[in-house]
Amino acid sequence: MKFHLRLSDIAAIIGASIEGDAGLIVTGVAPLEHARSSDISFLARREFVPYAERTSAGAVITAPELAHHLPHTVHRLLHSAPEHAVADLLDYLVASSKVEGGAIHHTASIAPSSTLAKSVRVAAGVVIGEHCRIGEDVEIGINAVIEDNVTIGERTVIGAGAIVCRDCIVGADCRVGPGAVIGSEGFGYLEMKDGSYRRLHHVGNVAIEDGVDVGANTCIDRALLGSTIIKRGVKIDNLVHIAHNVVIGENSALAAQAGIAGSTVVGQRNRIGGQAGLTGHTVTCDDVIIGAQAGVSKSITEPGQYSGTPAQELSRRLRSEAALRRLVELLPLLETLLQKSVPKQTDQLRDEQD
């Protein structure tokens, strides 16, 4: 992303103080190890100090206690929370780059019965079905498909190639990544006597509340009946699968390749690590952290950290693993004791027979 800003402008945007030339012009943002003299970067954590000591960046946003690690040639923007300062700068740059006003590409196909706000931006190849309602400042990316009876709230972004299936609801200020599918058929079948399967038609929908992010190629299945619900503020990574009739509580976060089976209820502020799986019809309470690759087969009723398969409370699992390691260390001693005791028992048996 290219821009043209004085250091004084950036300081005003993020609320930082300047050590250096306030009139310095920067034209890009880059990581410490790749930044050039025309770029601004940031240093927020001590583990990145080795990169900071060698950086060629023109300016760096950093905390006062880390500033001395930067070369003397680097201009500094001092802020108590550098990561938040960078987030403010990126918000400003993205907002500045947006094209104002609505625009509909001539290759888009929009059903006459649908209602789009004047500020909606629709890219090439988009298809919008019947009776849809699209709010102000919505962006719909290339080749995205919005099926019949879909509602999309204000300022939401639908990525290229994403599909929002019939009857689904996406709230305001959401982001649906490229290739994501909202409202696909759930995995529901009846097993027949001959071993075959009869498909259950899923006639529910997906209801996504405000401020939700859905990653690229993530799939959220529609409910069999009722709604699969993603509550306010949830953040979902790429390649996540959420099955039918699941409820994800407010401000929870799911990392890549996590899988949530049908009718599971995830509490508020849960953190679910990459490749973790929750079996169907389980419930997690609020404030639960589930580690990467964990397997949750039973409901979790107490807040805390859980890991492993089957998932256990973290401190308990660590004690179990420590005990197992200790047992392995004791095995040679146990074998030695057994070898010593067997001859004695043999001698005793022989004496009794005599």
Summarize pLDDT for 101-136 with one digit per residue, the tens: 789 999 999 999 999 999 999 999 999 999 999 999
Under the banding of pLDDT at 50, 70 and 90, the label for residue 335 is confident
Average pLDDT over residues 318-329: 75
282 sits in which H/E element: none
The string of DSSP codes covering 170-205 is: E-TT-EE-TT-EEEEPP--EEE-TTS-EEEPP---E
The predicted structure's pLDDT at residue 345 = 54
pLDDT at 257 over 90: yes
Three-state DSSP at 93 gives helix
User: Using one digit for the tens of pLDDT, what is the confidence trace for 23-65?
Assistant: 999 999 999 999 999 999 999 999 999 999 999 999 999 999 9
Exposure of 97 by Cβ count < 10 A (0-12 exposed, 13-18 middle, 19+ buried)? exposed
Please indicate whether residue 40 or residue 328 has the higher confidence score (pLDDT): 40
For residues 129 and 139, give the distance between their C-alpha atoms in angstroms, rounded to a whole number.
16
Provide the token pair at 79.
């802020």
**Banded model confidence at residue 332, pLDDT cuts 50, 70, 90:** confident
C-alpha to C-alpha distance for 257 and 274, rounded to whole angstroms: 6
| pLDDT value of residue 249 | 98
- Model confidence at 146, in pLDDT bands (50, 70, 90)? very high
Confidence of residue 87 (pLDDT cuts 50, 70, 90): very high
Domain 2-97: CATH superfamily is MurE/MurF, N-terminal domain (3.40.1390.10)
Mean pLDDT taken over the chain: 93
Packed helices 82-97 and 7-14: angle between N→C axes, nearest 10 degrees = 110
Instruction: Note the pLDDT tens digit of each residue in 214-231.
Output: 999 999 999 999 999 999
Q: What percentage of the chain has pLDDT greater than the value 90?
A: 84
Token digits of residue 91? 């918000």
User: Where do the structural domains in the chain lie, given as residue ranges?
Assistant: 2-97, 103-313
Active site residues: 244
Beta strands across the sheet bearing 75-78:
2-6, 25-29, 39-43, 59-62, 75-78, 17-19
pLDDT band at 343 (very low <50, low <70, confident <90, very high): low
Q: Taking a C-beta distance cutoff of 8 angstroms, is the pair 174, 212 a contact? A: yes
pLDDT of residue 354 exceeding 80 = no
Return the pLDDT at 338.
81
Q: Please identify which residue in the block is written with the tokens 């079905």.
A: 129
Please list the residues that pair with 39 across neighbouring strands: 28
**Percentage helix, strand, coil for the chain under 3-state DSSP, each rounded to 5:** 20, 30, 50
Expressed in angstroms, the distance from the first to the final Cα of the chain is 95
**Nearest alpha carbon to residue 139 among 151, 126, 163, 156:** 156
Tens of pLDDT along 203-215? Answer: 999 999 999 999 9
At 291, list the tokens.
């580690």
Per-residue pLDDT, 101: 76
Predicted confidence band of residue 351 (pLDDT cuts 50, 70, 90): low
Under a CB-based contact definition with an 8 Å cutoff, are residues 260 and 220 in contact? no
CATH code: domain 103-313 is 2.160.10.10
Q: Which of 225, 129, 236 is nearest to 174 (CA)?
A: 236
Q: What is the pLDDT, as a whole number, of residue 315?
A: 74
What is the predicted pLDDT for the residue at 353?
Answer: 57
Evaluate if residue 350 carries a pLDDT over 60.
Answer: no
- Would you place residue 89 in the very low, low, confident or very high pLDDT band (cuts 50, 70, 90)? very high
Give backbone dihedrals phi and psi of 4, rounded to 5 degrees, phi first: -145, 95
User: 50 or 354, which is more confident?
Assistant: 50
pTM here? 0.85
What is the radius of gyration, based on Cα positions, of the chain?
A: 29
pLDDT at 352: 58
Q: Is the pLDDT of residue 254 over 70?
A: yes
The pLDDT of residue 262 is 96
